[in-house]
Chain A
Amino acid sequence: MFKNLYTRLCYVFFFALMALCYRFYVNYFFLAAMIIMAIVPVVSYIALRYVADKVSFELSAPTPIERNAQITIRLTLKCDAFLPVMRSLVKVVIENQFHRQPETYYFGCGIPAGKPAQAVLDIRSMLCGAINISATEVEIWDYTGMFSLKRPVSESATVIVNAPYTEMDISTEAIGGAGLTELVEQDTKGNDSSQVIDTRDYRPGDKPNRIHWKLSTKLERLIVKEYGAISSNDVLVLVELYRPDMTGLSPEETYKRNLPFDRVFDAYTALMEHLIAQKRPFCLCWYSPSIGELKKEEVSTRTEGRNAISMLYYENLSTEPGAAREMCAKTMDEFGEFIYIFPSYSECTAGMEACERLFVLEEEGRVLAECVRVKIT
């Protein structure tokens, strides 16, 4: 707005100068300049209306990438008109799904007629998560820079930012093997009643195949089945997705408070790499506050491990510390065991002192994330 205003004022100033000169010199040159200056904005605006509807663009971003690695965002703009665009401004919003703090970038770029123009931005993410990049609006200027038109657009891309692998000294014995229990949701059609340990009312988000149709018909409301735990030789890895409320904190403090949560993914990556190296398939499990239950994903390869963790990036964060652990303990067999990865917030570490620590993640002498073996007694 003010940029336009400044340019307009400049133009008016030039025009006034020409008028003043004409008044003084009564010279044809200044009169001609005034006439041309009066015509130019009109023609320029008409041209703007013409080219504004001919502009299109694409947004591209890289495939999954490690934290702190460079993310190159490419914006390719194209003008199908026979006139070029002197200046366009694309509004791009970049947001980490976890942290919900959108950053706005404006890409200013001229677009030649007939050939795409490219604008590039290199960023890096200091925190893991799914980075959503979306272009929401494009503003196109006329040649004088005095007028602009805005056009809504909808282009988006997502970049998954994973934690880098940090090698940890993890004892294979500590992880153990047999005896650990995995929470497995039977992929059945729901008729194996031996596994059903409980029922409850339907909640949005519940899978249709978990609906207990017979009971629902009887009670005339939707009832879903709760499955019990089954024993398995696979490892169960539970990740706590908890982050305390950070409202009102300074940016520096917020960053510091975010680190333990973020380093949970480092711990997971370290453990995953270890288990994959040991050829130990495992089951990644986490608590989804949106559906109020645990979710799981079986992992036997590195790719599966990466894909599984990326599913976490789209989850809402829990506001209750230890919710995943409690839910897991509740649904487990007696004497069950699992590996629990949690951020080292005081509210999460409470009650975990007695658990056997597989490893901890420290930075600058501060414990950020911990990985423990939990036994249900």
Chain B
Amino acid sequence: MENGGSSFRKALRRIFRREEYLEEKAGLVSGIRVVNRSVKFSEDQKIKHALLNAVLLFSMVTGVTMAFADSFEIGYSLTAVVMSYGIFSLLLSLMNVRRAWQNIGYILIFVIFTVVIIYFRNYINSGLNGFLNDFYVFISEYWDMDFEKTYTEAFAQQHEATITAFFISVGFVLMVLLNFVFNNEQSPLTVLLVVFPVLQFGMYFDAAPSVILTAALVYVLLACFFLRHNHQFAMPTKKKNTRRIHMSHNNYYLHFSNGRVIAQVGAVFAVFMTAVCIVMAVIFPASAHRPDSRLLEVKESTNQTVRQVLLYGFYGLFHKDSDGGVSGLNSGKLGRYGTVYSDYETDLYVTFAPYSRETVYLKSYVGVAYYGSGWANSFPDDEVIYSSPELASAQDLINLEANRLEKLAESDPKILKGRMLVDPQDAALGINYLAYPYYTQFDFASGAYSTSFGGTGYSISELTRVPYAVRAGAYRDLTYYVYPDIWNSSYVDQAPQDEIDRFVRNNYLSVWGANKSSTEVISDTRYEQDRLNVESYLRHFCAEKGFSGSTVEIIEQIRDMFQAEYPYTLNPGVTPKGNDFVTYFLSTQKKGYCSYFATAGTLLLRTMGIPARYVEGYVVSMSDVVDAEFVEGEEYEDWIVGEAPAGKTAVVKADIDDSRAHAWVEVYLNGFGWVPVELTPSSFGNAEDEEFDSLWSRIGRMDMSDDTADFIQNIMDSPAGQGVMLAIRIIIGAGIAVALFFAGRSVKKAYERHLGRESFYEGYGMRIMKTYSGLCAWARRKKLLDDDNATVTELVKTFTKRGAGETQLTEFADIYKKAAYSPAPVTKDDRNRFMSLAASIKRSVRCD
């Protein structure tokens, strides 16, 4: 059994430690063995290798960091960075000369770096923010992003200095990591992985780094390629590399570096490259390069994806809206995506004359019935048909508010009549509903609308899908009315006036107004239970919050509550499966974006007895108007009729992308109709900022607010905090002590290796050889031996003459021969015996 196990171990060793196995077998038949498979470098060679390493390190790290800065026009102190990198690369490379230096050096680096980071973290962090600011400005311009992000720089007045400090610290970390790479492998692939992204990153933004920096990076890459593939480079401290006589199929390979060759080949290569560059500059200069523009389609087609990745990380690759790709409109679907993102593609061009500074709402989707995970644009019993003597046709109902305003406008000059051109773009074709302003008066007679509405009864779904009836992609010229002061009008809190008001009151106060889809029945017990749960929860919620008063007051109370307790975020996370969207939002999640607030607001208003519904669409804010282009040749009077609060303005064409998609609430005012109500907290306007904050917070942004800093400072100043700090210091001190202990042990081992460098034997045999060497050295010092290469026979002979015991010497020689020449294994007893014999012989030998 034991033999079996032993054979198995041998077989494993033969497979997995083949070189060692071959080494042991080598020379047994031929009698020829390699003496020192570990080639020792001279001090001179070590220093030269270290210098070469330093040049490569310096070129690479300088190339990488400065190429990045150069590409993106980030300001920094060139002198400080170059000098720092030069010193760092030299120090780190010199550490490779001795293993002990390496061990101690890395520990010291870790300690120093930690201390520097702790004490200068704010300064370096300010540099990081400054760097990000500059970088962000660049890519914002490149992608023509309609927003900007500025990170707080604690030392903004020292912008370049902090960025320089940041570069130095990042470069240092990079250098330490790369030092491992160069020390171990000089792998061109590794270098490529580091160099290539930096090179191409700038190029991606049409901002290639300068020629010198590019040349530095290419130089490192080619140097590693040539050095490695020609076996001309190996750092001295790495065991793997110093054992440079390696075996393969019983053959030995020896590789000898030659610095002169490297220098000469480098010179030849430089001359060659210079000549080629000159020839190319003459024959085919860069200016003669005229690429086919069609070739650029590949890059442009990836631009969107790359931007998503850059802005949102890889997360952005997987979270795309299932309805027509990237879009801000959800068509009433709720809680499905943990993060909402925008592609900033234009969805609409809106041409109009801005009549006030207020946000213009472009209505698109109307949700009337809530079913737990979304809104339906129809009630479950969609067969409900109502009619009113006021309405001659369905078109009248669609144009209800506009028709009323048309009449009011005759007596109220504040009511404006406007014209708006809404031009949907390709990106918006996936939207099933036209976006149109409040209160559009559709001209059904023009024939621009494909669906005809007839008869005297209308289903709700038919009415809420009005825009759906409009041919998608058509260029819409809309007439709309504006009632700026409606909340101060008599319509507020007015009693129901007609059938329409009563119909709305009967149908738009139900919290759980629909089944999941029109094909499912409302009597389903599960949905019924959900309805009861939600209704119950919302009633308790309203009671708990103490909502009361008029419509306006309740709206204000809800808005204030959201503002105070429910922060706005585009990354709220998904609603867990099985949870009701609105109760989960109000009770657990407590954060969200516009759909969350619009849904919750709608249902809270309904609970409070105010008819309301959920609306999705686009908003045109003042910033959009500011950024919009002026439409030349258009007169204000052709676009606005009436006294606009903003006075006479120019006609503008606003670019509305999907980031302007929004959800809000409509409240029904008896006698008038639906009025938009904004319940989303005011941070909505800074949505992009919030997006980036969350992004960078994910990757561990180091900056903190003043409040947080004060909080931490207070904790640290407290007795408990002092105790914690003391404990941390003790732990760090203990860690350093342990590290120094291991470093010392490494030094000791290195010294032992140094002593035993002439032997390639391992284990006890090596110890015997070292002891023998020590005895020979002692004998030479005592002038007992003249020959440096004394054999054991000569040694024994000499010591015999000097009075050492013959028995001892014979045993001494036998053990030595066994260790040196015999393939038999040397045991621990042999080693101990040999060492005691050596000591005994040393004592007994007479010296002159």
Interface of A toward B, CB cutoff 8 Å:
7, 10, 14, 17, 21, 23-29, 31-33, 35-36, 39-40, 43, 66, 68-70, 83-87, 94-96, 99, 101-113, 115, 117-127, 129, 131, 141, 143-145, 164-167, 251-252, 254-256, 258, 262, 363-364
Contact = CB atoms under 8 A, between A and B. Distances in A.
A127 B253 CA distance: 23
Nearest to A133: B32
B688 to A, nearest CB: 28
B754 interface: no
A143 B265 contact: yes
B229 A27 contact: no
Interface string B823-838: 1100000000000000
B271 to A, nearest CB: 11
| Chain B interface extent, by class | 35 or more
A23 B251 contact: no
Contact of A10 (B225, B255, B261, B286): B225
A129 B218 CA distance: 54
A143 B273 contact: no
Interface class of chain A by DSSP:
mixed
Contact of B299 (A24, A33, A363, A364): A24
B254 A107 contact: yes
B30 A364 contact: no
A125 B28 CA distance: 10
Of A39, A69, A86, A145, most buried by chain B (CB within 10 Å of CB) is: A86
Contacts of A143: 226, 230, 265, 268-269
A105 B256 contact: no
A17 to B, nearest CB: 8
Contact of A109 (B188, B204, B256): B256
Interface string B216-232: 00100000011001111
Interface string B172-208: 0000000000000000100010001000100110001
Given A24-B299, A26-B295, A105-B251, A126 B230 contact: no
Interface string B254-268: 111110111011001
Interface stretch (B346-354, B450-458, B814-822): B814-822
Interface in B772-831: 789, 791, 793, 797, 814, 817-818, 820-824
Contact of B286 (A28, A36, A86, A95): A28
Given A120-B256, A256-B823, 12 more contacts: A35-B284, A70-B35, A96-B31, A99-B30, A105-B252, A107-B254, A108-B253, A110-B230, A113-B264, A124-B33, A129-B31, A143-B226
Contacts of B26: 103
B268 A83 contact: yes
B298 to A, nearest CB: 6
A110 B203 contact: no
Contacts of A164: 791, 793
Nearest to B30: A101
B299 A25 contact: yes
Given A96-B31, A112-B264, A117-B258, A166 B793 contact: yes
Contact of A110 (B35, B257, B269): B257
A7 B188 CA distance: 11
Nearest to A100: B30
B789 A86 contact: no
Contacts of B824: 364
B34 A106 contact: no
A143 B252 CA distance: 23
Contact of B230 (A101, A118, A141, A252): A141
A110 B226 contact: no
Contact of A255 (B257, B292, B789, B823): B823
A98 B609 CA distance: 112
B214 A117 contact: no
B280 interface: yes
B540 interface: no
Contacts of A95: 30
Given A86-B261, A108-B255, A143-B265, A36 B820 contact: no
A255 B522 CA distance: 94
Contact of B251 (A10, A85, A87, A106): A106
B250 interface: yes
Contacts of A27: 203, 208
Contacts of B276: 36, 39
Given A66-B791, A101-B29, A121-B34, A363 B822 contact: yes
8 contacts: A7-B229, A35-B280, A70-B789, A104-B250, A105-B253, A112-B264, A119-B254, A251-B28
A68 B200 CA distance: 59
B280 A32 contact: yes
Contacts of A363: 817, 822
B252 A106 contact: yes
Of B252, B280, B824, most buried by chain A (CB within 10 Å of CB) is: B252
Contacts of B252: 103-106
B11 to A, nearest CB: 14
A127 B28 CA distance: 9
B33 A126 contact: yes
Contacts of A126: 27, 31-33, 821
B719 interface: no
B577 interface: no
Contacts of B289: 28, 31
Contacts of B284: 35
Contacts of A39: 276
A364 B269 CA distance: 61
B533 interface: no
B27 A121 contact: no
A369 B280 CA distance: 77
A44 to B, nearest CB: 9
B296 interface: yes
A121 B229 CA distance: 22
B536 interface: no
